[in-house]
Each structure stands twice: as structure tokens, then as C-alpha cells.
Amino acid sequence: MRHLPRLHTLRGVRNAMPVGGVPARAAPARAAPARAVAFRAAPARAAPARAVAFRAAPARAVLARAVLAGTVLAGAGLAATGCGSGQSATFHPAGVIASGASPAPVSANSQRRGPEGLEWPPFGRNVHIIMPEWLPADASQVPAVIAAKNFLLAYLYAEYRGNQDHRWTAYASGKVLASLKATLGQPDVTSQSFVGTIRFSQMRVFADPITPTAIDVSECFDNSHSSNTDLATGKVIPGNTPPDQHYYRNTDVLAKGKQGRWQVVSVYPTIYYPQAKECKP
């Protein structure tokens, strides 16, 4: 993250989204950024976005998607079918990493199964991940939400390990898979890790407005209590991320693959605080 741990730095995304996290109608046509990657065929028009990332705080981008340019659009004709603002599950590290140290090598298959089928990667004891236990009331949407949570945890762990772990690839497919691999291969990812607390909250799920069979899973992300570290030395890397960019709403688009498994196939632009007011405690 060249910013704090942030989620997927996707350099090309779908339409803009309103404050509530529900996809809005296409924005007026504007030129796409030079490095934009088409995650999927966009509707008639696409809103430009600057790539940012999902990690800690230096001034470069890595996991987060793209920052919305200009005002956030409103007026989507969809409503979220649920919002997870209640109880959360906290990852209690079982690793043996001393405070401030770099991640120790672990087995590629090492992970802990949590409630509702969550697969918790083996973060070190200097990392705490808070994930809502919320699941939608509609049973047909539950597998997609669980897959989205597992994707977020696994991708975050790939950043934690400096792209030395690839379990996240089981939860993504299509062009977004290649784009995320390219992001994780960047020097500022492969040379860094992070410590501290990452909090996911305010989860929502709703039908995708573009693909009838797809489901969108949205959540707030807060990395204000984490720091990037040098992967080799474990030393904290000073960051200069603008305060408001520690809080944002992330939305992944999931669809069923050939084997019936839900996978992330696209993403929407990130919405930062203060547009995403609900994402700052």
C-alpha cells in the first residue's frame, strides 16, 4: 500500500457509486487514466478514477480501488438488502512474530477456519483483523458474502507477506485476477508488510445493476491503526496518507464460476470519507 494496508489497487473500475455504496448510473464520458486496466466490459460510459491501494500509509497506491474524481453520483435505483454493523469477529493471531518483526515463513496451506466458513490466514501476532460476523438474511446470498470475506482476508494476507502467498487467487477470476497479480508484483508491495489493526465494517449486499446473476458485496475499510513495515527489517515506514483516505467503502462484484463457486470478477471505484461518512468511526 504504499498507503496503509488498503485493498486491491485496481487501475480500472466500473461506474461511479453514490455515498451509500450502491452502484450509480454511468458518469459522463471522460478519458480513462493512462494506466487503466479494463476489469470488465463497462456499460456505455465509464467514470475515470485514479488508482489507489489497500495498504498502509505511504503516498502510493496498492489495494484500494480507484479514487472517485469529482462528486460522487447519486440516484441508483437499487437498495442494499442488508447492512452489517453489529458484532464482529476479530482475528487473534497465532503466529510467533515478535512486535515489529517481519512475517515469518508459513506453510502455503496454513490457515484457521473461523465461524461461517471463514478462512483466516496466519497473520502474525502484531496484526489484528476485525471482520463483521454479519450475513444476509437471504440464504442465497450467504455464499457470495462468505467468498467476499475470504477474498478480502486472503488478499490482505498476500500484501502482509509481500506477495509470497497466493491463496487469494482461489477467490478471483477473469481480468481482475490478472490486474491484481500485477499490483501485487510491484516493488512497493514485494518489499513491504504491515502491523497494527485493520477493521472491516458496515457490510452490505445487493444485486449488481449490470450483470443480472452477479452480486455486489460492499464494506467499509479502516486502516488508521496500521503501519507499513519494511519486509526485510521489520521497521515501520513513515507514511503520509491524507487522514480521510484511511476510511473508505470498497465494493466487489461476485459471480458464480463454472464449478458453482462465487468469485470476485470486478470492482467499483472506492468511495472515501467524507463521501462515505459511515466508514469513519
In this prediction, residues 57-64 reach a mean pLDDT of 34
Task: Tell me the per-residue pLDDT of 4-39, one tens digit each, with 9 for 90 and over.
Answer: 555 664 433 455 443 345 544 333 333 333 333 333
d(CA 106, CA 104) in angstroms, rounded, equals 6
Task: Check: CB of residue 94 under 8 Å from CB of residue 111.
Answer: no
Domain locations in the chain?
A: 83-103+111-279
**Residue 51: its pLDDT value, please?**
32
Q: What 3-state DSSP class applies to 198? A: strand
* Nearest Cα to Cα of residue 219 among 246, 189, 249: 249
**Residue 268: its pLDDT value, please?**
92
Q: Which tops the pLDDT comparison, 47 or 141?
A: 141
**Residue 84: its pLDDT value, please?**
56
Q: Which tops the pLDDT comparison, 82 or 247?
A: 247
User: CA dist 114 to 126, 130, 158, 190, Å?
Assistant: 19, 12, 19, 28
Task: Tell me the per-residue pLDDT of 109-156, one tens digit each, with 9 for 90 and over.
Answer: 455 555 578 999 999 999 999 999 999 999 999 999 999 999 999 999
d(CA 140, CA 13) in angstroms, rounded, equals 26
**Residue 5: its pLDDT value, please?**
58
- pTM comes to 0.70
In this prediction, residues 157-170 reach a mean pLDDT of 97
> What b/e string do you get for 96-135 counting C-beta neighbours within 10 Å, with b at 16 or more?
ebeeebbbeebeeeebeebeeebbbbbbbebbbbebbbbb
d(CA 67, CA 53) in angstroms, rounded, equals 9
Question: Is the domain covering 83-103+111-279 a CATH 3.20.20 domain?
Answer: no
DSSP-assigned letters across all residues of 247-264: EEEEEEEEEE-TTS-EEE
Neighbours of 246 (CB within 10 A): 23
From start to end of 8-85, where are the E strands? 49-51, 54-56, 66-68, 83-84
